[in-house]
Amino acid sequence: MRDRSRSRSSGPTVPLRSLTLILVVLVVVVTAGTPTAAVTSGSVTRGSSAAVADDANGLLGLDVAGSVSAGSSSRLLTVTNQLDRSLTVDVTSASSLSGTQATLTPGESLTTSTTVGCDSPPDTVTVTVVATAGSQFSGTATRSTTVDTSDCSSAAGPFSAVSGSATAGSFSGPGGGSTGSIAFTFENTETAARTVTAFEIVEAGTATRLSFGGPKPVNGEAGKDELYIDATGDSTDSEGAAEDGRRTTSFDVGDGTSHSLDQSVTIDTGEAAEIFLYQFQDNGTPYAFQSGDSITLTLTLQDGTQTTVTVTV
């Protein structure tokens, strides 16, 4: 009897290797077609397990502030590494930034802040993020946010920094060396004299501390006190100073601490006073100010009110 059992076929047989190749191609095509809102342009090699999605869930998790405030330092952007490998991130902008570079392990974040002055603030701040992970990933994302100027009237207060007056490295301390020194001019724009009794260092480029370990006495001279305010050009003939050698606390940048002046200073109406700060450090090393660095001080007045002064190098 004949064996009638035969395999039936509806078409040509596809070899297993060919079928595997087709599936791989399909996977690549589907991945390439997934939205990449979080990355303006970039490339990914196979082996990355992170999903490519929107700003919050993409390869680069981007959390952009809804707005930033003029007259102070504000959080601009938080970048989160959502790859399965370390990622190098660089953040750039035409505006003054702090927290601009980091190597992030998977799940780690970098927060970037910006300082926008009240003197002709822009309508928006634009920031560009460039991220790389060796040859496995590279991407660029550009984002913008609006600038809120509602605080500028109160931020300016009685004092206005003189635009272009900030000069870095223009004077030295008793031990020599001008690195870390900064001076600028501000004016009392009100119709009454105002007395400054304390100060807080909100920002100074990427410096971390104002200190040079000078002598304890208040000297009332640029480079011999960490902070010296010269308001001797008018009828009050006043000088102010703060010397960190006289206290147990240091003048740290951005820690939210207001430090009383060892010698308060009165600035007459319409008077221009010059403030000298020496010596800024970055983790123990004298800080070299760069063009575009911002210095923001919050000054406490005799009546208890506070006002912010910001200048750009």
Contact 188, 194 (CB under 8 A): yes
Rounded to an integer, the average pLDDT of 41-66 is: 61
Give domain status of residue 2, yes or no: no
Cα angle, residue 254 at apex, residues 98 and 60 outer, rounded to 5°: 35
| Residue 199 belongs to domain spanning | 157-312
Q: What pLDDT score does 21 carry?
A: 35
Q: Rounded to whole angstroms, how far apart are CA atoms 279 and 179?
A: 7
On whether residue 18 sits in a domain, the answer given is no
Mind listing the pLDDT tens digit for each residue in 271-280?
Answer: 999 999 999 9
Last residue within a domain, chosen from 148, 173, 194: 148
| pLDDT tens, residue by residue, 233-278 | 766 678 888 887 777 778 999 988 999 999 999 999 889 999 999 9
Q: 163 and 137 in one domain?
A: no
Report the C-alpha gap between 211 and 183 in whole angstroms.
Answer: 15
Report the CATH number that the domain containing residue 52 is assigned in CATH: 2.60.40.10
pLDDT value of position 105: 94
Q: Where does a domain end: 148, 182, 211?
A: 148
Same domain? For 183 and 240 the reply is: yes
Residue 105 lies in a domain: yes
Tokens of 210: 């104002």
> Is there a single domain that holds both residue 165 and residue 275?
yes
Asked if 138 and 183 sit in the same domain, the reply is no
Same domain, 143 and 207: no
226, 302: one domain: yes
Do 172 and 276 have their domain in common? Answer: yes
Pair 160, 179: CB distance under 8 Å: no
Between CA 55 and CA 129 the distance in angstroms is: 12
Alpha-helix residue ranges (DSSP H) falling in the chain: 16-32, 152-156
Distances (CA, A) of 121 to 69, 125, 170, 203, 307: 10, 10, 27, 18, 18
Q: Which residues contact 85 (CB under 8 A, 6 or more apart)?
A: 48, 106, 133, 134, 136, 137
